[in-house]
Structure 1
Amino acid sequence: MSNGTVFVEEGLRGQAAELVRRTEDLGTLDFALVAGDGSRVGVPTDVSAFLVHVLRGLARGSVSVTTLPEELTTTVAAELVGVSRPTLMKLVRNGELPARQVGSHTRLRTEDVLALRRTRAQDRRAALDALRELDEEFEADR
């Protein structure tokens, strides 16, 4: 490791590929850190999901991990939220997403964008759950 950069040798990439291959049918994976004395520390679900993505990228041969800056452009924010840039700007105009102007450019705080992303994901899950309930009701009526 040099300046936070990890150089990956082919052997490590091969190990990651084998691990991904062996676990691809297992569904959700949770990680734990195991000390030499056998004591275990569970890894939070979000961190486990992140590690799975890193392993899959490494197995494919390329992975890049970076942190997000404190402020984002509208293009990057739209990509993170999963909407078009015009839709993101509509959310800003409607006051659903705080933003500030820097000259003629709009900047958004990363934490606000990530909060919106989480809210939208929760809303999608709730809608899917409601659809499942309706489906179960219709199945019961048949």
Structure 2
Amino acid sequence: MSVLLSNGTVFIEEGLREQAAELLRRIPDLGAVGFTVAAEDGAQSAVPADLGSFLAHVLKGLARGRVSVATLPDELTTTVAAELVGVSRPTLMKLVRAGELPSHQVGTHTRLRTADVLALRRSRARARREALDALRELDDELGAGFGAD
């Protein structure tokens, strides 16, 4: 059972944590499956992949014992932004100084718009995918057989 408080906090009883742990024992890689929501009247709807990934993260956290879910603020510190982008804070600051990531000062502190950080994250992920695809094409052309015996 769970209880939703007016401030948006959801308290989970131990039984739900145990159910999440059991689900993960049966299906250890929830990220590789899709989620479907079924209404009481039998209507079903597939859960979009991004939302399914979020639900898988929540279930994994719940199975381990505790999970906290919050929305991102409009502005981020450089430390949080670096973690989201997947780089060190000094590397993030190099991107800011190079003009690749807009920022502004709040007193002596650098702040970044969440939307800008997420756009950079998507751009870097796309560039990594394109680089991997190019390597695969080169591998196919040269017949080097990465991963082949």
Answer whether TM exceeds 0.5 for this pair: yes
Count, aligned residues: 141
**Once superposed, what is the RMSD of the aligned Cα atoms?**
1.7
Structure 2 segments unaligned to the other structure (5+ residues): none
Which secondary structure state, in structure 2, belongs to the residue aligned with residue 7 of structure 1?
strand
Q: Structure with the greater relative contact order (CA < 8 A, sep ≥ 6): 1 or 2?
A: 1
Which secondary structure state, in structure 2, belongs to the residue aligned with residue 107 of structure 1?
strand
Q: Residue 78 of structure 1 aligns with which residue? A: 82
Which secondary structure state, in structure 1, belongs to the residue aligned with residue 125 of structure 2?
helix
Identify which of 101, 105, 111 aligns with 1:101.
Answer: 105
The question of 1:28 aligning with 2:28 is answered no
Q: Aligned in 2, Cα 1:139/1:17: closer, same or farther, shift over 3 Å?
A: same
State how far apart, in whole Å, the 2-side matches of 1:123 and 1:21 are.
35
Q: Aligned in 2, Cα 1:99/1:27: closer, same or farther, shift over 3 Å?
A: closer
Runs (4+) of structure 1 moved beyond 3 Å?
none
State how far apart, in whole Å, the 2-side matches of 1:140 and 1:71 are.
46
Structure 1 segments unaligned to the other structure (5+ residues): none
Q: Aligned partner of 2:73: which letter? A: P
Q: Aligned in 2, Cα 1:25/1:74: closer, same or farther, shift over 3 Å?
A: closer
Q: Aligned partner of 2:59: which letter? A: L
Normalization by structure 2: what TM-score?
0.87
State how far apart, in whole Å, the 2-side matches of 1:5 and 1:139 are.
55
Q: Residue 123 of structure 1 aligns with which residue? A: 127
State how far apart, in whole Å, the 2-side matches of 1:34 and 1:99 are.
44
The question of 1:8 aligning with 2:12 is answered yes
Q: Aligned partner of 2:12: which letter? A: V
Q: Aligned in 2, Cα 1:26/1:105: closer, same or farther, shift over 3 Å?
A: closer
Normalization by structure 1: what TM-score?
0.91
State how far apart, in whole Å, the 2-side matches of 1:30 and 1:58 are.
19
Contact 1:29 1:49 (8 Å CA) reproduced: no
Q: Residue 90 of structure 1 aligns with which residue? A: 94
